[in-house]
């Protein structure tokens, strides 16, 4: 495996095990030089906490990227998570266009919605701007809610394989290249990931844990990116990330005091072994 340099653009929640505090250690454990560009700094994440601080860093981004361009700093990949504004989406598109090495790959987690609803900070204007980033990226990692918003597709809580196939086709028709569709469940006991690449669909099924955990989307996306840049296929990366995320949840689920995230750090040796 060659030594990759990746830039990840998302927020820092100083406490709560999500976003950059998850992405940086997981990508580093995968053996990559991991550079960060914070989109915002929060004292905690926003799920279950009140009175948290928030500092928007949108205005700092142009000067940072201009300095990188001056220093001719390039990246093998850019991976985005939570972006706080439409302006940040435009800035990321410029980074993708100007800061990539040869064989560069862009990976977008359109972190903006779940369970049939947009996150409170976002509106349909944000969705429309996110489409410009998603449909120009090499790989996207939406959940079903995000995929429906991006494809102007009817969201359903109950669905079958035909519905998922139609959703994947709708994303592909709009320009999506490789699609990693998370949270695809056809039974009560299992869930999985649908991978759509080169007009072919594959499905990785794994056990379902009924109790949800904060930050697992960031854990999954970061583990996928780390595996993919390690040289694994999209399907194998999807499976490795799924198994790692499940084990992180299992490592946490019995600890009620750790409700704000998952104990992903002790499970990193398992992840590293999967990459070998």
In DSSP notation, 26-72 reads HHHHTT-EEEEEEEEEEEE-SSS--S--EEE-GGGHHHHHHHHHHTT
Distance of CA 34 to the CA centre of its chain: 15
State the number of CA atoms in the 13 A half-sphere of 271 facing the CB: 31
Q: Decide: 8 and 19 in contact? Cβ < 8 Å.
A: no
Per-residue pLDDT of the chain (276 residues; tens, 9 = 90+): 678 999 999 999 999 999 999 999 999 999 999 999 999 999 999 888 999 999 999 999 999 999 999 999 999 999 999 998 999 999 999 999 999 999 999 999 999 999 999 988 899 999 999 999 999 999 999 999 999 999 999 999 999 999 999 999 999 999 999 999 999 999 888 899 999 999 999 999 988 877 778 889 999 999 999 999 999 999 999 999 999 999 999 999 999 999 999 999 999 999 999 999
pLDDT for the residue 189: 87
Residue 251, judged by CB atoms within 10 A of its CB (0-12, 13-18, 19+), counts as: middle
Q: Where are the domains of the chain?
A: 5-269
Give me the pLDDT at residue 181, please.
Answer: 98
- What per-residue confidence (pLDDT) applies to 2? 78
The CA radius of gyration of the chain, in Å to the nearest whole number, is: 18
Task: Give pLDDT, residue 1.
Answer: 63
Q: What pLDDT, on the 0 to 100 scale, is given for residue 188?
A: 85
Q: How many CB atoms lie within 10 A of CB 190?
A: 12
Burial class of residue 162, CB neighbours in 10 A (0-12, 13-18, 19+): exposed
Q: Per 3-state DSSP, what percentage of the chain is helix, strand, and coil (rounded to 5)?
A: 40, 25, 35
pTM of the model: 0.96
Q: Which of 119, 79, 116 is nearest to 96 (CA)?
A: 79
What are the start-end ranges of the E strands in the chain? 5-15, 33-44, 54-56, 75-80, 100-108, 113-114, 117-118, 139-140, 178-181, 190-197, 200-207
- Return the CATH architecture of domain 5-269: 3-Layer(aba) Sandwich (3.40)
Instruction: Give yes or no for a contact between 58 and 29, defined as CB atoms under 8 angstroms apart.
Output: no
């Amino acid at each position: 495996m060659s030594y990759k340099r990746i830039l990840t653009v998302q927020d820092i929640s100083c406490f709560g095990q999500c976003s950059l505090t998850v992405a940086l250690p997981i990508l580093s454990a995968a053996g990559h030089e991991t550079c960060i560009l914070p989109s915002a700094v929060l004292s905690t994440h926003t799920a279950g906490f009140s009175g948290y601080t928030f500092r928007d860093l949108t205005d700092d981004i142009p000067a940072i990227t201009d300095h990188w361009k001056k220093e001719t700093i390039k990246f093998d990949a850019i991976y985005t998570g939570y972006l706080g504004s439409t302006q940040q989406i435009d800035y990321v598109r410029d980074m993708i266009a100007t800061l990539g090495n040869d064989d560069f790959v862009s990976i977008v987690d359109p972190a903006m919605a779940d369970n049939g609803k947009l996150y409170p900070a976002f509106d349909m204007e944000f969705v429309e701007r996110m489409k410009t980033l998603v449909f120009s990226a090499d790989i996207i990692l939406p959940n079903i809610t995000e995929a429906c918003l991006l494809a102007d597709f009817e969201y359903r809580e109950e669905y079958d394989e035909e519905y998922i196939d139609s959703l994947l086709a709708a994303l592909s028709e709009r320009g999506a290249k490789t699609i990693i569709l998370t949270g695809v469940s056809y039974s009560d006991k299992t869930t999985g990931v649908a991978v759509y690449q080169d007009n072919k669909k594959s499905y990785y099924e794994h056990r379902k844990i009924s109790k949800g955990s904060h930050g697992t989307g960031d854990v999954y996306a970061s583990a996928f990116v780390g595996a993919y840049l390690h040289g694994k296929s999209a399907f194998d990366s999807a499976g490795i990330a799924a198994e790692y995320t499940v084990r992180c949840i299992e490592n946490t689920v019995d600890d009620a005091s750790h409700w704000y995230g998952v104990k992903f750090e002790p499970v990193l040796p398992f992840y590293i072994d999967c990459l070998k």
